[in-house]
Structure 1
């Protein structure tokens, strides 16, 4: 079979998700992969919106033998190639086994996010998917792992004890019946063994996973679709201000709005904290402007009017002091990890 024919007959796929510490982990894993690898590999590494991912690709191409590229929308998947999600874009797979990159709504506060890739791979390849979750903060990838498992695929995680940042593998281990939890050094040979047993006859895809995948691909985005996925809850989406639904078939608490934003409980709490902080800085600025304006106004007044303006300026100062006390307090400890999770 010619090379041009081979690239159109991909029947199995490996998808990898990672965040903080990902460059080191991916380097160890990709060293074990040769250019005859019998499946395409798609990778989501959490990246800042202004990052290119070039440094990661350069390292992977130097260390391994598999060809590593930026994922290009519309490209056909080829065995023996690795495709890295572009910054500020979700990476997914369409029904024709082509690469799909979108500017869809953030999931778990990330774009690219791991869950959209894992879900789309499960929908397209069913039980011929191997999902791998590596080092990283928080819990992106857990819902995607659950989708792979429910579609009959194989779930593999890096042993949290060796992960530089064990949150992501630990969360998957706690909420998904993963098939393999092992060190990076043992993954390469296992992948070859597992892929040799594929492809299997495809299994039916659960309806909720198909709906979520269609929402992420921007094919479907409406209230009835999300109504079918869960129950309306009294929370607002920090991303767009819309209402949220709690997913019914999720392995852990997870929320979604009809626009497409999706959050695990941890990520929703963190995003709410950031929005609160942003709002309080705005309130602080407005109270300071009001205090200064009242002092300026009072200078030109006399009697009761002057006293009233000074009293209101004093009350503004009280609010300023209270807001500053909150902003400089340590009730924001979790935001430290938030700013680090996009690092390699």
Structure 2
């Protein structure tokens, strides 16, 4: 670690309350870990997690450059992605952790309920999110993807078992409740872009009741204008939102903004994410899980790496991760705090349904 970087790191740790008289930094191989303890220890799932993430610091700066704004934006992202103390286990009545999702069970306490629906954007070959909505939470789902080849995706080609009855224990594609699939992507407005069909979330939510819809987005950077419009109009219709965020991906639906001013476009994305986190509550993310595989000393050993567009002050990239939100109107405030259930299923569908 260079003297300058070490000094700056020490100042940062003191500012955060770490250092002499507080928690300390311990060295474990190529990175240093601030002395913090994951709430899930000693049996942490390899899935999204609740609780404040414990993140490493690079033992020495691994990048060719060191942009102040990249770290500033990264810290803002991390703060907004940190689970809210309000979305705790008592208020949620327990959690269900599975894959890239951390669900507050209060959002599903009324399921199955007439009119509830799950919308899934970004399906690929298999969509475990919509299968869980169907087989565990017992609601119909609609699936959208215009990039995936239907020949390789049973749900997108509508060949997966549909409204098949109980799917518990089945390892292959299976939907207990009815689902529909569409060769359509999610964008800021409906239309055709680069030969692909797009629809807007506003159009799909039109006429739906408040707190009637669960949403998953994994749309490779197309989410920002969608979320911007959602914040202005339809947020109250959504019960839970699971998404993989992509900062700086410059998707086709966002290309014009990035061509004009990339840094300004990135700041806009962070602003939108902060506004979303101020309206909804973060339940969990896979930020901490992703950090376990971060090894800059190995990946940047022969030459310094390119600096990520956004990262923490310790160097950890936060340009892509999964995060789960819940509508705060659903928390069990003032109700008996006996948990509804506590489900942890990090591996395979059998444990999830």
- With the length of structure 1 as denominator, give the TM-score of the two structures: 0.27
- Larger Rg computed on CA atoms: 1
